[in-house]
Structure 1
Amino acid sequence: MRKLVYYIAATIDGFIAGPDGADPTGPGGFWPIPEDYLRHLIAEYPETLPGPAREALGVTAEGTRFDTVLEGRHSYELGLKVGIPDAYPHLRHVVFSRTLGGSPDPNVTVLSGDPVAAVRELKQQDGKDIWVIGGGTLAGALATEIDQLVVKLAPLTIGAGIPLFGRDAAFEPRTWELTGHTVLDSGALFLTYTRRRGDS
């Protein structure tokens, strides 16, 4: 069965974006992107680079991990605001929104229903793993379905912002097993956690 993987960049103090929810890696952003970090993304997770970045960097690798990306409305609209209606044209792109209406791009599927039911259906289909890019609200809504966390931990603290599972996440302790890690010279860590069997 396909796994649902929350692959996300986070600060040491557990935030994925600043308080305003803007793209922290965009123009004027505060997120560090050192050269070894970018090299690691290209080598290990090429399919997670947005289409424009892949084109600029000359990345053509299909990648071996994901063939589907799930996104919440707010995260999706960050791309729309800069004229990118499909940031991941090389993946099946699904956006969850009750307010967006129709899709601005024929290759992007907008779903207004229950994301948990949709993910359970996706997991039964053939294919590679499913990537939850964010935002935190969607990750929080899908917390019970997430099989693996891949946290790109930046050597950065920001004090306040949007937490890993959003501002409205419920208090639901879950345990995870560290099943992989990479430490880069720049101080960034790639930490892979797999959900412990028997957890709710």
Structure 2
Amino acid sequence: MRRIIYDVAVSRDGFIAGSNGDVSIFPHTGDHVDAYNERLATYDTVIMGRHTYEFAYQYGLPAGAKAYPHMRHLIFSEGVQLPADAEVEAVRADFTTHISALKKEQGGDIYLCGGGMFAGLLATSKLIDVLRLKVAPVLCGVGTPLFANVSERIDLKCISSTLHESGVEYCEFNLQ
């Protein structure tokens, strides 16, 4: 069975973006970036919510284009607007049913790119297998939470932890 892996940068206080979606709070250079790029090469499918996908528009990604050229893209949103010739697929309903079926398909690991609301839905539905955190040495105070709308405890088992020279700590957990 394929694994859903939430591989994400996070502040020490649990935010994947600062106020107004600010990601400049995270270090974008350093040895942790090389490790992340190596992990990206191992995923064959990426899943994300509409806000995460559309966030890339401000960095030049055209609507309907792939953010990661080697991966199949699934955008989970009832309202995402994509052109007819889109390279990405929209999933507009039955998100958890679709994810459960996706995990049973042939293929490699599935990269959960974000965001916090979508990750919260998958976590409460027990569909995330692995949590890979790139913990930045910063406190945000406000922003987009790692998991939104999660009201029950989720136990984690630490698999590995590495402190990079950049100051970013990489932590990998299995969700139990």
Task: Choose from 11, 23, 27 the match for 1:32.
Answer: 27
Change (3 A) 1:131 1:104: farther
Which residue identity is paired with 1:177?
K
Q: Where does structure 1 lack aligned partners over 5 or more consecutive residues?
A: 48-62
Other-structure match for 2:11: 11
The Cα of 1:103 is off from its aligned counterpart by: 4.7
| Alpha-carbon separation, structure 2, partners of 1:81 and 1:17 | 15
Greater Cα offset, 89-98 or 79-88: 79-88
SS at match of 2:21: coil
| Alpha-carbon separation, structure 2, partners of 1:171 and 1:153 | 22
Alignment map for 1:127-138 (pairs within 5 Å): 127-138=107-118
| Alpha-carbon separation, structure 1, partners of 2:82 and 2:54 | 13
Q: Percent identity?
A: 36
8 Å CA contact retained: 2:2, 2:105: yes
| Alpha-carbon separation, structure 2, partners of 1:12 and 1:101 | 34
| Alpha-carbon separation, structure 1, partners of 2:52 and 2:146 | 13
Count of residue pairs the alignment pairs up: 171
Q: Cα deviation per residue 1:32-51 (whole Å; 9 max; x = unaligned)? A: 22322223223x32x3xxxx
SS at match of 2:150: coil
Q: Cα deviation per residue 1:70-122 (whole Å; 9 max; x = unaligned)? A: 01101111122443132112100110111114456532001101221111000
Of structures 1 and 2, the one scoring higher in RCO (CA 8 A, sep 6+) is 2
8 Å CA contact retained: 1:115, 1:141: no
Greater Cα offset, 95-104 or 127-136: 95-104
| Alpha-carbon separation, structure 1, partners of 2:135 and 2:128 | 18
Other-structure match for 1:79: 56
| Alpha-carbon separation, structure 2, partners of 1:193 and 1:150 | 6
| Alpha-carbon separation, structure 1, partners of 2:73 and 2:86 | 10
